[in-house]
Amino acid sequence: MARELRTGMLPPRVRRASINWGDRAFHGITTGFALLIAALVALLVLELATESVPALSRFGPGFLASTSWNPVTGEFGALPFIYGTLATSALALALAWPIGVGAAAFLTELAPRFVRSILGTMVEMLAAVPSVVYGLWGVFVLVPLLRERVEPWLIERLGVLPVFSGPPFGLGVFAAGLLLAVMILPTLASVSREAMSAVPRGQREALLALGATRWEVIRAVVLAQARSGLVAATVLALGRALGETMATVMVIGNSPSINVSIFAPASTMASVIANDFNEATGLQKAVLLELGLILLVVSLAVNTAARLMAARSTR
């Protein structure tokens, strides 16, 4: 009773600042470097925004919906590049998703330890191959193969569908989508694997003990519980596909046009920047910088969303 009088029931305020000058300096320094990362992100946005002011003020929001691209008359629109970016990314996701998630499920749920370590390492090594090497391989191996075998075959059988129509260029949305699929595969597989391994072992065993098959366990427990992790994996992979440059610029054909056929050449936001920036002057430079700004803002949004989801799913 007496002690209640002497000390309060509530904790005193936390004293955070150290009185040691060395510690203070050290805290200041580490905090400074941490702030540098934050400042870099802010500076990225600021820099690209100021550099693209001429384009922003000239074309306004109509830029996003316009299809013109004429450096001579100074008419520019972003739509063909937005289309190219979305088309290649969507194609890449559609191709890579079942393979990446399937491989992740195989590796976490079915593979014996040694197969897991070999295949797992190989899939992760896919992420280590420089994108310019994928581009090189695309130019000299994939594109000829598509042009001479795959595309004619598809056109002959499915040519009635507009998406598979037209002459087989080799270079185009299809080739870019395929290369992008390979490049986002490791992201999909490794983030999905993490989410799947986070599902508690006991839950699988509980369902197995009820007489379920392995596949039923994977579907009802593993895939179901890892769902938000799978969404995060998908969004992260999408982020990678949207901004991937070198492989795309080397195989997409670099044509600012919108075509229904996936065999037609196109351009993405990243590829047109890589292709045109060094030659561009004046307004066109500002236009390309605005495309970079759009790419940046989209990637910030997509990555923030993915990280927040991933943080929630593995907790």
Partner 1 sequence: MISTYRRRKLANMLMLSLLGAAALVAVVPLIAVAAYVVLEGAGAINLDFFTQLPSPAGEAGGGMGNAVVGTLELVAIASALATPTGVMAGIYLAQQGRGTRLGPLVRLLSDVLNGVPTIVVGLFVYGLLVLTTGSFSALAGGVALGVIMLPVIARTTEEAVLQVPSSVREAALALGLPEWRATLRVVLPTARSGILTGVILGVARISGETAPLLFTAFGNSFWSLDPTKPIASLPVQIYNFATGPYESWHRQAWGAALVLMTMVLALNLAARWLSRSR
Partner 2 sequence: MQMTRDLRIVSVQEWREAAEGTVSVRGLSAWYGRHRALTDVSLEVRPRSVTALIGPSGCGKSTLLRCLNRMHEVVLGATVSGQVLLEDEDVYGSGVDPVSVRRRVGMVFQQPNPFPTMSIYDNVAAGLRLAGTRNRGVLDGKVEQALRQAALWDEVKDKLRKPGTALSGGQQQRLCIARALAVDPEVLLMDEPASALDPVATARIEELMVELKRDYTVVVVTHNMQQAARVSDYTAFLLSEDGGGGALVEYGETRQVFEEPRDERTRDYVTGRL
Site for partner 2 in 11-30 (CB under 8 A): 11-15, 18-20
The CA distance from 140 to 210, in Å, is 53
| Residue 106, contacted partner among partner 1, partner 2, none, CB below 5-8 A by kind | partner 1
| Residues 6+ away with beta carbon under 8 Å from 312 | 228
Task: Pick one of 1, 10, 37, 210: the residue that binds partner 1 (CB under 8 A).
Answer: 37
Give how far the C-alpha of residue 9 lies from the chain's centroid of Cα atoms, to the nearest Å: 52
Fill in the amino acid letter for 32: G
Fill in the amino acid letter for 312: R
| Residue 12, contacted partner among partner 2, partner 1, none, CB below 5-8 A by kind | partner 2
Binding-site size, partner 1 (CB under 8 A): 93
x/- mask, partner 1, residues 73-112, rule CB under 8 A, reads -------------------------xxxxxx-xxx-xxx-
**What is the phi/psi pair of residue 279, to 5°?**
-90, -20
CA end-to-end span of the chain: 43
- Count Cβ atoms below 10 Å from residue 165 Cβ, excluding itself: 17
**What is the phi/psi pair of residue 70, to 5°?**
-135, 95
Helices 282-314 and 227-243: crossing angle in degrees, nearest 10, is 160
Q: How far is the CB of 137 from partner 1 (least distance, A)?
A: 5
Stretch that binds partner 2, among 9-17, 76-84, 156-164, 268-276 (CB under 8 A): 9-17
The CA distance from 165 to 60, in Å, is 35
Q: Does 213 bind partner 1 (CB under 8 A)?
A: yes
CB-nearer residue toward partner 2: 10 or 210: 10
Q: How far is the CB of 151 from partner 1 (least distance, A)?
A: 18
Task: Pick one of 6, 113, 201, 315: the residue that binds partner 2 (CB under 8 A).
Answer: 6
Q: How far is the CB of 3 from partner 2 (least distance, A)?
A: 4
What are the residues binding partner 2 (CB under 8 A)?
Answer: 3, 6-15, 18-20
